[in-house]
Amino acid sequence: MSARQDRRDKFASRAVQIGFIVGLLTFWYLGTAYWGISPLLLPNPVKVWHELKDVLGSGEYLPDLQITLTELAVAFSISCTSGVTLGYLISRSQYLIKVFEPLLAGVYSVPIILFLPLYVLFFGLGPGSKIAIGTTISFFPIVLNTIAGFGYVDKIFITAARSMGASDVQMFRYVLLPAALPVILTGLRIGFTVALLSILGSETIASLAGLGHKIVHLAEAMETARMFAYIAFAVVIAAFLNTVVSSLERKARRR
């Protein structure tokens, strides 16, 4: 395809994308304003926008956001430290890897959200159960990636360092860690994303506070417009956090 054709194609596809989104918004507006869709099901986009401005301006979102972010921070720090530590310890021996990696991968393949009711029974409806489920679910990609990172370092690097007289500490610091880092960071990114999703999910299902709960609360109160505003808000926050974490991962992987 020639360069000119390519540019025309790029322009055309952009046009289709924009057209698609504009079309969607238009149908949304028309549907609620003129075609009689119940505002309880689909609120007017203009009203949603006003509600959003109100929520942001009044700072009403703050307590829920704070709870969600705190739960996320605590859950992620726990799963991070335990996952990396355990992953490193397992990676020290090929035998341990062969024993534990399939077990961990197997447990991860079950939808762990099933254990949420158990955690609620244990910790109640408060932040404890959210942190617990967030930690549990995000633990697995972190530990599995750490095992993969440390356990599959190209043998030639270890041999070369050994031949040059590297001590165990030097081996870890100058060879194992930098070699494993890209894979581990990917695991951390996935763990973060998954922690956020499971915390929002558990707030939706069984909670007294937090962003997920707020959305449910508004749904039950039939305040659909405000609920849409909060959904948009939550999506933006999630997107922002994920972008930050992704770019951190990419920066650290640049080598």
Partner 1 sequence: MSGLLAVKKVLLRRPALARILVLVAFFLFWEISARWWIDPMFMSPPSRVLASLSSVFETRGVPAALRITFWELTVAFAISVVIGLAIGLAVGLSRFSNRSFMPIILLLYGTPQITILPLFILYFGIGPASKIAFGVSHGIFPIIVTIVAGVQNIKPILMTSARSMGANRWQIFRWVIFPHMIPSFFAGMRLGMTGVLLGVLLAELYVSTAGIGYFTTLFTQNFDPTKLLGLISILAAMAIILNELVRRAEVHFARWRTD
Partner 2 sequence: MTAGETAVRVKDVSHEFGEPGDAQFVRALQHTSLDIARGELLCLIGPSGCGKSTLLNMIGGLMTPTTGTVEVGSTVVRGPLPRDIAFVFQENALFPWCSVMENVKLGMVFQGVPKSEQEDRARKSLEAVGLKDFMGHYPAQLSGGMRQRAALARALSLETSILLMDEPFGALDEQTRMILGEDLSVLLSRAGKTIVFVTHSLGEAVFLADRVAVFSARPGTIKEIIHVDEPHPRKPNFVTTEKFSQLRNMLYGLLHDEIRKAVEQSAIVGPQS
Chain positions contacting partner 2, by CB under 8 A: 156-157, 159-167, 170, 174-175, 178-179, 181, 255
Applying CB under 8 A, which of residues 3, 121, 156, 164 lies at the interface with partner 1?
A: 121
Total binding residues toward partner 1, as defined by CB under 8 A: 48
CA distances for 91 relative to 57, 98, 100, 167, angstroms: 50, 10, 10, 18
Residue 118 is a binding residue for partner 1 (CB under 8 A): yes
| Strand ranges for the chain from DSSP E | none
Q: How far apart are CA 103 and CA 198, in angstroms?
A: 22
142-68-114 Cα angle (round to 5):
60
Residue 167 is a binding residue for partner 1 (CB under 8 A): no
Applying CB under 8 A, which of residues 2, 4, 34, 41 lies at the interface with partner 1?
A: 41
**For partner 2, which is the closer residue by CB, 117 or 178?**
178
**For partner 1, which is the closer residue by CB, 11 or 174?**
11
Residue 238 is a binding residue for partner 1 (CB under 8 A): yes
55 close to 205: Cβ distance less than 8 angstroms? no
CA distances for 230 relative to 20, 28, 73, 217, 227, angstroms: 24, 18, 21, 11, 5
**For partner 1, which is the closer residue by CB, 41 or 169?**
41
Applying CB under 8 A, which of residues 111, 155, 164, 254 lies at the interface with partner 1?
A: 111
Q: Which long-range contacts (CB under 8 A, 24 or more apart) does 241-244 make?
A: 241/192, 241/196, 242/192, 242/193, 242/196
**For partner 1, which is the closer residue by CB, 171 or 219?**
219
252-253-255 Cα angle (round to 5):
105
Applying CB under 8 A, which of residues 86, 113, 179, 248 lies at the interface with partner 1?
A: 113
Min dist CB 137 to partner 2, Å, is 31
- Of the listed pieces 53-61, 76-84, 110-118, 171-179, which binds partner 1 according to CB under 8 A? 110-118
Cα 76 to the chain's mean position, in Å? Answer: 10
Residue 20 is a binding residue for partner 1 (CB under 8 A): yes
Applying CB under 8 A, which of residues 196, 209, 225, 229 lies at the interface with partner 1?
A: 196
Q: Which long-range contacts (CB under 8 A, 24 or more apart) does 51-57 make?
A: 51/225, 51/226, 51/228, 51/229, 52/229, 52/232, 52/233, 54/229, 55/226, 55/229, 55/230, 55/233, 56/233
Residues that bind partner 1 (CB under 8 A): 9-10, 12-13, 16-17, 20-21, 41, 95, 98-100, 102-103, 109-111, 113-118, 120-122, 196-197, 200-201, 204-206, 211-212, 215-216, 219-220, 224, 227, 231, 234-235, 238-239, 242
